Structure 1
Amino acid sequence: MKSSYQLLQVILILLLFGCNQSKNREVKMISTISKEEFGLTPEGKMAELYTLTNGNGMVVNITNYGGIVTKILVPDREGTFADVVLGFDSLAPYLAGHPFFGALVGRYGNRIAKGRFELDGNDYQLPINNGPNSLHGGLKGFDKVIWEVQEVKSDSVVGLELHYTSQDGEEGFPGTLKVTVNYTLTNDNALTIGYKATTDKPTVVNLTNHSYFNLTGLKEDIMGQEVSILADSIVSVDETLIPTGELMAVEGTPFDLRKPTMVKKGIDQDSDPQIKIGGGYDHCWVINRQAPGMIKIATVRDPASGRFMEVFSTEPGVQFYTANFLDGRLKGKGVTYGKRFGLCLETQHFPDSPNQPQFPSTVLRPEQEYHSSTSYRFSIQ
């Protein structure tokens, strides 16, 4: 009898242990969101930092100042988590000036020639802030404003809904533009960004996110990472990185990234005229697309860590930039940000589209609604 009683005790203990383990697994799969103060802007507004965590332990930090993604923690093949985006641990360095680390960019991502465009017979002049051109929305674009934030949460999804109203004439753009951006972190380790906008008069819109990725976990530069972009051509540019109006086939050039290619291999071909102009990669690839919708457009892999990122988007183009203008003067997260220390895959319409009628249009009218979606999905390969 005594042995039977002991056996029964063991069975009960095992059952309880199994139930507890099951409960722990359930807890693990619940996504969380938290908020803390990040610092004051010069206008006296409080910037807040949101921490999104999914059931796998992936973490994304986003501040309502500029909608900036400040951190993305993902594991390597050994299960070790590390940050894979350039940025800072406090608000002050963002306020001091930075090359759009992790920022929401608008109203117009990329360059507009001489900051001028004509729409419906009216001429508009934007601020000149990049050589002779206007870049990323002007002197105070969407990356430098406080966004209103609403938290979004379920057991498997956590996210933020950001809102900003850009007034008519802001940075020279016509129309009052109401913008909504949704950041969503899912349990398949994907950070998805959805953009919506409406206007009360004709304007131009080209929204994107400007995260600088480094899948080594910020251990070294990105020259050894492998990139693929599913595109047969790029937008050819002149010496000021403004489109010439021509699309250049990638076949036989350093821009042929249709198969995974080490970044160093392409950039080292510095005899190529387009590589010389950009000082590396700073060009818009024309995505191979047969129909509208979300499709895979690019991948990045770090062979050493095994970290792998897939990029999906609804956009016709992606600006691939290899941090050609970082020079070591900026430091963050205990790291010096030198040349080639990050890479950007900015999904978007083409540069200077308002002045290039043959390009897909970036015009938004009052009866329309702007939509764009991009997803960055992380795994091990």
Structure 2
Amino acid sequence: MRVDMLPFGIYNEESYVEILITNDQGVQIGFSDLGARINSWGVLKEGRFEQIILGYRNATEVFESPYFFGGTIERVADCIADGEFVLDGNHHILDCNEGINYFNRGQNGYNFNRFDFEIVKSENQIDIIFSYVDEEKGSSYPGDVTITVIHSFNNQNEWTVTYKATTDKMTIFNPTNHVYFNLNGNNSAPVLNHEFFVNADYFLPLEADGIPVGNEKYMKRTPFDFRTPHLLQDSLLVETPQLVLMNGIDHPFMLNQKEKVALRLACSETNYKVEILTDRPVVIVYTLNKIESSIDVWDNPLQSHSGIAIETQEASNAINMLGLGNIRLDPTEEFHSQTTYRLVL
């Protein structure tokens, strides 16, 4: 396995790097210290790498994009209703960035911060260990949180992301990665032709502002039922209230913990398949329903449904809704979670 360090550009006088790992199968994956992000995942075809995720050419594109492709999403991924929560009797108010609600901390999130890193090599795997201290003074959250994000890649074409975190004060923590897949290669077509499987019996319906309604909804005989694999277009083109409300899928799925493979994405036209294994109880699936800015990704224009985000985590707004999971982080504990994305060629 080989590691190459490339400049990822300069933005506001801060320089960034991209770390490229090429395994013995000729598959190449790229990470950056800007947001501890995954930025590329290429399969060698006819002398060039065909990208199966959405990414950026340089740091300027990251900062000037309205999208968070491949970034680490911080302390609490997705949404907190009304931008507030109560923790051990203390009321905390966040800086709302989506109307009256809070989503992903926007321009102040981990996605736009530079992480320190070290590289650890072994015969069959390379780990990039990113680290960052999220100080209380720089956020509305209580406590200083020390975060480690480990991106690993091996000769079995498995990318594993591991999160570890400790805090000096009771806080909340629920990270994820904002990777978007497009197995057509180089963003050449929408993902409507992808076959999708999710090992989940329930999903959470949403309000118009993206906040979960709160009650689990059985998926049988709805377009959200992917327990039997089928093409995304077979669901996305159905006009049901929840799909119309969000212009597609942007919903939490409550994963069953019985099977090792939680999700599977496949494209018959390229014969690429990705299997996802995770210890997280929830995955938010987002089919890139809203195009906020006309940009090119891998030299092809971004369009509706150009990618599908698969974000493993606890449920959205879990701190404010009983029964949706525990995102509290105690000073006596270490947070740990792990998700593996396995590329099958």
Q: Give the TM interval when normalised to the shorter protein.
A: over 0.9
* Sequence identity percentage: 28
How far does the alpha carbon of each residue in 1:163-189 deviate from its partner, in whole angstroms, 9 at most, with x for none? Answer: 000001433111100000100001110
- AA matched with 2:132: Y
Which residue of structure 2 aligns with residue 265 of structure 1?
Answer: 234
TM-score (norm 2): 0.96
Question: What secondary structure does 2:319 align onto?
Answer: helix
In the TM superposition, 1:1-381 aligns within 5 A as 31-42=1-12, 44-74=13-43, 81-217=49-185, 218-270=187-239, 272-290=240-258, 295-327=260-292, 329-380=294-345
Q: Is the 8 A contact 1:162 1:182 kept in 2?
A: yes
Using the TM superposition, give the Cα deviation of residue 79 of structure 1 relative to its aligned residue in structure 2, in angstroms. Answer: 10
Counterparts of 2:39 and 2:162 in 1: how far apart (Å)? Answer: 18
Using the TM superposition, give the Cα deviation of residue 114 of structure 1 relative to its aligned residue in structure 2, in angstroms. Answer: 1.6
Q: Is the 8 A contact 1:75 1:307 kept in 2?
A: no
Q: Is the 8 A contact 2:31 2:38 kept in 1?
A: yes
Using the TM superposition, give the Cα deviation of residue 261 of structure 1 relative to its aligned residue in structure 2, in angstroms. Answer: 1.3
Counterparts of 1:332 and 1:227 in 2: how far apart (Å)? Answer: 23
Counterparts of 1:295 and 1:363 in 2: how far apart (Å)? Answer: 26
- Larger Rg, first or second structure (1 or 2): 1
Question: What secondary structure does 2:191 align onto?
Answer: coil
Q: Is the 8 A contact 1:138 1:171 kept in 2?
A: no
Using the TM superposition, give the Cα deviation of residue 130 of structure 1 relative to its aligned residue in structure 2, in angstroms. Answer: 2.3
Using the TM superposition, give the Cα deviation of residue 36 of structure 1 relative to its aligned residue in structure 2, in angstroms. Answer: 2.0
Note closer, same or farther for the CA distance 1:264–1:328 as it changes in structure 2 (3 Å cut): farther
Using the TM superposition, give the Cα deviation of residue 274 of structure 1 relative to its aligned residue in structure 2, in angstroms. Answer: 1.3
RMSD, aligned α-carbons: 1.6
Q: Is the 8 A contact 2:120 2:126 kept in 1?
A: yes
Counterparts of 2:326 and 2:138 in 1: how far apart (Å)? Answer: 21
Counterparts of 1:40 and 1:79 in 2: how far apart (Å)? Answer: 29
Counterparts of 1:86 and 1:191 in 2: how far apart (Å)? Answer: 15
Counterparts of 2:83 and 2:107 in 1: how far apart (Å)? Answer: 12
Identify the structure with the greater helix proportion: 1
- AA matched with 1:340: H
- AA matched with 1:133: N
Using the TM superposition, give the Cα deviation of residue 131 of structure 1 relative to its aligned residue in structure 2, in angstroms. Answer: 3.4
TM-score (norm 1): 0.87
- Report runs of 4+ in structure 1 exceeding 2 Å deviation: 78-81
Using the TM superposition, give the Cα deviation of residue 138 of structure 1 relative to its aligned residue in structure 2, in angstroms. Answer: 4.2
Number of residue pairs matched by the alignment: 344
Counterparts of 1:371 and 1:362 in 2: how far apart (Å)? Answer: 12
- AA matched with 1:358: G
How far does the alpha carbon of each residue in 1:27-78 deviate from its partner, in whole angstroms, 9 at most, with x for none? Answer: xxxx111212212231x221111111111111111110111211101267x9
Structure 2's unaligned 5+ residue stretches are none
Question: What secondary structure does 1:354 align onto?
Answer: helix
Question: What secondary structure does 2:82 align onto?
Answer: helix
Note closer, same or farther for the CA distance 1:232–1:79 as it changes in structure 2 (3 Å cut): farther
Structure 1's unaligned 5+ residue stretches are 1-30
Counterparts of 1:150 and 1:201 in 2: how far apart (Å)? Answer: 27
Counterparts of 2:286 and 2:174 in 1: how far apart (Å)? Answer: 17
- AA matched with 2:302: Y
Q: Is the 8 A contact 2:191 2:232 kept in 1?
A: yes
